[in-house]
Amino acid sequence: MSTKKGFNGLTIAAFESRMAAEMTRLIERHGGKPLVAPSMQEIPIENNPQALAFGEKLLNAQYDMVIFLTGVGTRSLVQAIQTKFSLELIQEALGNTILVTRGPKSVVALKENNVVPKVVVPEPNTWRDVLEAIKTLKPDGMKGLRIAVQEYGVSNEELLDALRQLGALVTPVSVYRWALPDDIEPLRRLLKHIIEGQVDALLVTNAVQIEHVMKVLEETRKVDEFRMALKMVLVASIGEITSERLKHYDLPIDIEPSHSKMGIFVKETSEHIHELLDQKRRT
């Protein structure tokens, strides 16, 4: 077992965007040399027609269930609906609908509007956990169940398809979407550093990061080189949802934290990196 403390001078890469400054500080705090480049930006969908159509159907009791997948998306959806309907009517309609939340952030966002969800999906909050929670609630099946799903940038096709296969009538509701940063040169430089073997660990905190990274790599035909480089790099995934996306692209996962908070993620990776990296580079 290694006696080294923290990252101990290793070069640690991350694709963090909104929390880039915090990620940089955390890596430095645990003794690493940070290489952080943004991989995404949030693009609100202005005058969101899907959200307004959702609000109208919600108020007309045309949904049996609404699944909220993110806290930010939950708040954004309620705010979008409020441009056309009163908060009191929205609260009443939500209160008369089965509400399913994927995690605690959506619970908080609903409680801010005096609404309590019927189902809180337990960790690790994957789409499979969402599906199982609904199956438990509806043991007699979902045939004909009218379900709206608040989306969060990248559509969760696995969840939508699974619900439809069980007979549910599913309506995805996009609240915001993700795009590559306006300037992707920092991301290209970071990927070049990884491919050239100048990085010891990669911290991945969001599934969309992987989508965007693969898009950039495909444009430059560097996907195979990136996969090869990761054989010598410790790849840390913040949780199951991110890990699913890594597996989808046949990318390795060497460690997941005990909790998906960024501080815990970086700390636990720093505690295990030397042992895990030594093992990986010996094989």
pLDDT tens sequence across 203-251: 999 988 999 999 999 999 999 999 999 999 999 999 888 998 899 999 9
- DSSP states of 248-270: HTT----B--SS--HHHHHHHHH
3-state helix, strand, coil in the chain (%, to 5): 45, 15, 35
Is residue 93 one of the residues assigned to a domain?
A: yes
pTM: 0.72
- Cβ pair 278, 2 in contact under 8 A: yes
Q: Which domain holds residue 222?
A: 11-40+183-282
> 149, 178, 207: which is the final residue of a domain?
178
In a domain, 3, yes or no: no
Averaged pLDDT, 65-74 = 92
What is the chain's mean pLDDT, rounded?
A: 93
End position of a domain, from candidates 132, 148, 178: 178
Residue 172 CA to its chain's centroid (Å): 17
For residues 56 and 161, membership in a common domain is answered with yes
Q: Is residue 5 part of a domain?
A: no
**Residue 51 and residue 35 share a domain:** no
Whether residue 28 sits in one domain with residue 51: no
Give yes or no: residues 206 and 228 share one domain.
yes
Sign of the torsion formed by the C-alpha atoms of 123, 124, 126 and 131: negative
**Distance (Å, whole) CA 55 – CA 139:** 28
Helix (H) or strand (E) holding 21: helix 20-29
Residues 110 and 195 in one domain: no
Characterize the bridge pairing of strands 201-204 and 176-179.
unpaired
Give the end of a domain, one of 127, 151, 178: 178
Q: Which SS3 state, helix, strand or coil, does residue 69 take?
A: coil
We report the CATH number of the domain holding residue 157 as 3.40.50.10090
pLDDT band, very low/low/confident/very high, at 153 (cuts 50, 70, 90):
low
Do 137 and 259 belong together in one domain? no
Q: Is the pLDDT of residue 31 over 70?
A: yes
Q: How confident is the model at residue 269 (pLDDT cuts 50, 70, 90)?
A: very high
- Where does residue 141 fall: left (phi above 0), alpha (psi -120 to 50 degrees), or beta otherwise? left
Residue 2 falls inside a structural domain:
no
In the prediction, which pLDDT does 16 show? 96
Residues 142 and 189 in one domain: no
Whole-angstrom Cα distance, residue 241 to residue 103? 12
On the question of a cis peptide bond just before residue 124, with omega within 30 degrees of 0, the verdict is yes
pLDDT on residue 2? 55
DSSP-derived secondary structure letter, 238: S
Share of the chain above pLDDT 70, in %: 97
Same domain as 129, residue 82: yes
pLDDT at 120 over 70: yes
Q: Specify whether 27 is located in the same domain as 52.
A: no
Between helix 240-248 and helix 207-219 the angle, nearest 10°, is 20
Residue 4 lies in a domain: no
State how far the Cα of 238 lies from the Cα of 260, in Å rounded to an integer.
Answer: 5
User: Considering the domain boundaries, does residue 258 fall inside one?
Assistant: yes
Residue 275 has pLDDT above 60, yes or no: yes
**Are 141 and 115 in a shared domain?**
yes
Which among 112, 244, 109 has a CA at the least distance from the CA of 120?
109
Overall number of domains in the chain: 2
Q: Which pLDDT score is estimated for 46?
A: 63
The answer to whether residues 134 and 86 belong to one domain is: yes
**The predicted structure's pLDDT at residue 3:** 60
Residue 203 lies in a domain: yes
Considering the domain boundaries, does residue 257 fall inside one? yes
Please tell me whether residues 50 and 168 are part of one structural domain: yes
